[in-house]
Amino acid sequence: MAQEPLLQLKGVSKSFGAVQALYRVDFAAYRGEVMALVGDNGAGKSTLIKGVAGIYPFDEGEVYFDGQPVQIHNPREASALGIEVVYQDLALADNLDVVANMFLGREMIQKPWRLDEAAMERKALETLDSLAVTTIRSVRQPVAELSGGQRQSIAVAKAVMWNSKLVILDEPTAALGVAQTRQVLDLVRRLADNGLAVVLISHNLHDIFEVADRITVLRLGQNVKEFIAADTTHEEVVHAITAGALRHVPGMVKNG
Amino acid sequence: MSGNNPAHLMRTLSRIWAWLFLLALVIFFSLTGEGFFSLFNLQAIGANVAILLIMALGQTFVIISAGIDLSTGFVMGLASVAGAMAMTALPPGTPLPLIALTGLAVGLGVGLIPGLVNGLIIAKLKVPAFIVTLGMFGIARGAGFLLSGGMPLPVSIQGLGRIGNGYLFYYYPSQGLSFLNPPAGVTGVELRQVTGILPHPLTFAVILVLAAHWLLKHSRFGLHTYAIGGNQEAAIRAGIPVDRRTVALYMLSAGTAALAGVLYNMRFTNGAANSGEALLLDSIAAVVIGGASLFGGEGTIIGTVIGALIIAVIQNGLVILGINPFWQFVAVGVVIILAVLVDQAKEQVAS
């Protein structure tokens, strides 16, 4: 069925000086689905999500969220829309405990200025519980003491705690062992099953075929193909990543 | 939960070694130094450490945020010069509280300017804090001496010294406690039997310590300070206004240095551009001995208090034992290195 996408990008471009990182890219993410974003190094995956997250706003193109045209200039505006990003390097502060990390930048305050530690701890526990993240011994231990999978789970939990609608995960399993990868992939699937739109960036096609509903392939800053995961094969996706047809030849006149 | 593994032991040890060390120092000097363990001497230590400790409070925040403020010593001097000039410029007959408040307002106001400049350059122009505050070290030093004409400025205002050297309570055996002033009618040699309780500088420092502790531990600003020091990138992505916090941090550091300068005015009834020169490194030492990491993300106000007390007790105790005062430098130096060794041992065992 032709469901309306939660996030839709139409013809977005971004360049850094002379480097054209993205060129007229179309992209969509749907509620309740995992959209995988794949491509070789330098294909523009990170630039694309940083544009959506407001870190490097797009130079041109249209962004629709929930059917409305929007402009995202900075991370706060992205958060306000309900877009959360879990970065590859996690962006957790090792010296802070789990609760502090989950609420960083959005702390709950008891009147007048005091941090409401009890309420934050309660909500953190609830969130971890709802995501079935059960391996954390104490939410008061510094994040430095957690395993890679646990840290990834905290980062994901942090992202979904804020009534987010779209969660973007950048290589969430890159540094993890087999069992921890399993944990995180289950978590990713659970997010989509809870009705969120999930964008998953990964190099690992095995992981992608396990959880993704759709697959968008980027190559040299352009999108070459969108697949339905159930209707395609590893080979087709690999072929698109390495040799997919570009719609615009690099170096040609822009408005060609 | 393994309570006995070496990492856990080391963590506990690194948390409490400074307390134990301070306790050991107090016991040692009490046994060896005549008059060390007396109400008078312990209060004197408290009053003497107040200026250093107040300066170290702001530095604690800056160091936890993975910064450093090398300008505090001369910001204190500049503030004390400005405070002294303002107070002496008031017409004769101005009530004492108004004079004191003027000194406070002008000293603090002038002292905050270098902090604002430090913070803006560090946050907006991304110049390393070490360099910016080293530059400000020179600028504040020069400005202080230029303003004062190179000489200490005496502040001979009746009663001002009482603020810096008085006590909250006085006890006289036949008359009991009195508040702020020695009991009326006690004069001459009888005054020697009056016991002062809670020297004003100590009270002042305790209030600021409590405020700083609360700010660091229970406020959003404090949490953000730890976050910036632990992982600045994470702080930025979490939407923390890191630039604004950085400016606030260096203003806080300059602000406590300025308060130290005004307290110096009251205690020594003069203002001097070099009044804080020796205190800069001692205040950083206090923060480090107290367990803060120069790499940021770690440290507490209580730790800084213990660090400052260790320095003050060593200095006081060695004087009482009649040991050549130059040994004080050696002793404090040894303690600084010891503090860092304990911290490193903790890190090694933990990893």
Which tokens go with A227? 């697949």
Do residues B226 and B297 make contact, with C-beta atoms less than 8 angstroms apart? yes
Note the residue count of chain B. 351
Q: Do the chains contact at A115 and B226, CB–CB below 8 Å? A: no
Strands A222-228 and A214-219, by their bridges, are antiparallel
- Rounded Cα distance, A89 and B224, in Å: 20
In a domain, B194, yes or no: yes
Kindly give the residue spans of alpha helices, DSSP state H, lying in A82-116.
98-103
Side chain identity at residue B127, one-letter code: V
Do residues A52 and A197 make contact, with C-beta atoms less than 8 angstroms apart? no
In a domain, B126, yes or no: yes
Q: Do the chains contact at B240 and A104, CB–CB below 8 Å? A: yes
What is the pTM for the complete model shown? 0.87
Band the pLDDT of B1: cuts 50, 70, 90: very low
Do residues A140 and A102 make contact, with C-beta atoms less than 8 angstroms apart? no
pLDDT, one tens digit per residue, over B133-178 is: 999 999 999 999 999 999 999 998 988 999 999 999 999 888 888 8
- Rounded Cα distance, B68 and B221, in Å: 18
Residues of chain A positioned with their CB less than 8 A from the CB of B229: 95
- Rounded Cα distance, A161 and A165, in Å: 10
For residue A172, give every residue at least 6 positions away whose Cβ sits within 8 Å of its Cβ, in sequence order, or none: A86, A88, A152, A155, A156, A184, A188, A200, A202
Which tokens go with B97? 């509280």
- Domain ranges for chain A, please list them: 7-91+166-243
Question: What's domain A7-91+166-243's superfamily in CATH?
Answer: P-loop containing nucleotide triphosphate hydrolases (3.40.50.300)
pLDDT, one tens digit per residue, over B295-310 is: 999 999 999 999 999 9
- Rounded Cα distance, A43 and A220, in Å: 5
Total of domains in chain B: 1
- Rounded Cα distance, A197 and A204, in Å: 20
The residues pairing with A142 across neighbouring beta strands, listed in sequence order, are A97
In a domain, B107, yes or no: yes
- Rounded Cα distance, A85 and B232, in Å: 17
Cα-only R_g, chain B: 21
Kindly give the residue spans of alpha helices, DSSP state H, lying in chain B.
6-32, 39-64, 72-89, 96-124, 129-148, 160-165, 200-218, 220-230, 232-237, 242-268, 279-289, 301-320, 326-350
Residues of B near A (Cβ–Cβ under 8 Å) read: 1, 218-220, 223, 226-227, 229-231, 233-235, 237-240, 297-298
In a domain, B159, yes or no: yes
Kindly give the residue spans of alpha helices, DSSP state H, lying in A64-177.
75-81, 98-103, 117-130, 148-160
pLDDT, one tens digit per residue, over B248-269 is: 999 999 999 999 999 999 999 9
Q: Edge-to-edge strands of the sheet including B176-179?
A: B176-179, B167-172, B195-199
Query: Containing domain of residue B159, as a range?
Result: 52-305
pLDDT at B3 over 60: no
Q: What pLDDT, on a 0 to 100 scale, did the predictor assign at position B286? A: 96
pLDDT, one tens digit per residue, over A120-172 is: 999 999 988 888 887 888 899 999 888 888 888 898 888 888 878 999 999 88
Do residues B201 and B50 make contact, with C-beta atoms less than 8 angstroms apart? yes
Helix (H/G/I), strand (E/B), else coil: A2: coil
Distance from CA of A52 to the nearest CA of B (A): 14
In a domain, B268, yes or no: yes
Mean residue pLDDT of chain B comes to 93
Helix (H/G/I), strand (E/B), else coil: B346: helix
Q: Would you give the distance in Å from CA A186 to the centre of its chain?
A: 15
Q: What pLDDT, on a 0 to 100 scale, did the predictor assign at position A1? A: 44
Q: Would you give the distance in Å from CA B95 to the centre of its chain?
A: 29
Distance from CA of A222 to the nearest CA of B (A): 27
CB-defined contacts A:B, below 8 A: 64
Q: Do the chains contact at A109 and B220, CB–CB below 8 Å? A: yes
Distance from CA of A220 to the nearest CA of B (A): 27
Instruction: State in Å, rounded, how far the first CA of chain B is from the last one.
Output: 17
Q: What pLDDT, on a 0 to 100 scale, did the predictor assign at position A89? A: 72
